[in-house]
Structure 1
Amino acid sequence: MSGTSVKSLLNETTTVVLSPGYEGANIGTIIGFKHVNYLVEKAVIEHFRRSGLPVGRLYEENGLGFDVTAIDSRLQTALVVDDEAVFEVSPVTKDGATELSFKVTVTVEREGAQKKAVTSKVKVALRYDENDVRMLRRLPVAEGLEQFVTPRIGGAEPGEAVASVGEPLVSGGSTDRDPVLDQLLAGQNAYGWKFRIPYPYVHFFDRLQMSGYLRLMEEAKHRFVDARGISIRTLLDEQNHIPAVTHSKVTLLDEALLEEDLYIVYTVDDIFKNLLYTSRLDYYVVRDGHLVKTATGTITHAYGVVENGSSGRLVTFDERVLNAFNNTGDTVSAAGR
Structure 2
Amino acid sequence: MTAVAESITHELLTTPTTVALRPRYEGNNICTWIGFKHVNYLVEEAVLEHFRAAGLASRRLYEEFGLGVDIVAIDTRILNAFHLDDVGIATVRPTVADGSDKLTFAVTIVKDGGETKDVTAKVTVALRKDSYIEPTDDYPADLARFVVDRIATAEPGTEVAVLDNTELGAGRGTSAADDPVLRHLTAGRNSFGWKWRIPYPYCHNNERLQMSGYLRQMEEVVDLFLADRGISIKTLLDDRRWIPVVPHSKIEFLDEALMEEDLYTIYTVEEIFKDFTYRSRMDTYVVRDGRLVQTSTGTITHGYAVIENRRDWKLVPFDQRVLDAFGRVNPA
TM-score, structure 1 as length reference: 0.92
Q: Distance in 1 between matches of 2:240 and 2:271?
A: 24
- Using the TM superposition, give the Cα deviation of residue 82 of structure 1 relative to its aligned residue in structure 2, in angstroms: 1.4
Q: Which runs of 5+ in 2 are unaligned?
A: none
- Aligned-residue offset at 1:93: 1.1
Q: Secondary structure in 2 aligned to 1:56? A: helix
Matched residue, 1:162: 160
Equivalence for 1:174:
173
Corresponding residue of 2:149 = 151
Specify the SS of the correspondent of 1:233.
helix
How far apart, in 2, do the equivalents of 1:32 and 1:180 lie? 31
Q: CA deviation at 1:139?
A: 8.0
Question: In 2 relative to 1, CA 41–81 (structure 1 residues): closer, same or farther, beyond 3 Å?
Answer: same
- The change in CA–CA distance for 1:3 and 1:78 in structure 2 (over 3 A counts) is farther
Residue of structure 1 in register with 2:238 after alignment: 237
- Overall identity of the aligned pairs, in %: 54
Q: How does 1:296-335 map to 2 (within 5 A)?
A: 296-327=297-328, 335=330
* Residues 48-99 of structure 1, C-alpha deviations (whole Å, 9 max, x = no match): 0111111101000001000000000000001111111100000001223222
Residue type at the aligned position of 2:151: I
Report deviation, 1:243. Answer: 0.2
The match for 1:287 is 288
- CA root-mean-square deviation: 1.7
User: Are residues 168 and 227 of structure 1, via their aligned partners in 2, closer, same or farther at CA, if it must alter by over 3 Å?
Assistant: closer
1:16 aligns with 2:14: no
Once the 2 structures are TM-superposed, how far is the Cα of residue 2 of structure 1 from its aligned partner? 3.7
**C-alpha separation in 2, matches of 1:261 and 1:280:** 20
Query: Which residue in 2 is equivalent to 1:330?
Result: none
| Pairing 1:62–2:65 present | yes
1:174 counterpart SS class = coil
Aligned pairs (5 A) from 1:267-282: 267-282=268-283
SS in 2 for 1:49: helix
- 1:72 aligned to 2:75? yes
What is the SS of the residue equivalent to 2:255? Answer: coil
Identify which range, 221-230 or 157-166, moves more after superposition.
157-166
Distance in 1, Cα, partners of 2:22 & 2:283: 31
Matching of residues 19-98 of structure 1 within 5 Å? 19-98=22-101
**Corresponding residue number in structure 1 for 2:201:** 200
Give CA deviations for 1:254-303 in whole Å, capped at 9, x if unaligned.
01001100000000000000000000000000011111000000000000
Please state how far the C-alpha of 1:145 moved relative to its aligned partner. Answer: 1.1
Query: Equivalents in 2 of 1:313, 1:237: separation in Å?
Result: 17
- In structure 1, runs of 5+ residues without a counterpart are 328-332
Q: TM-score, normalised by structure 2?
A: 0.94
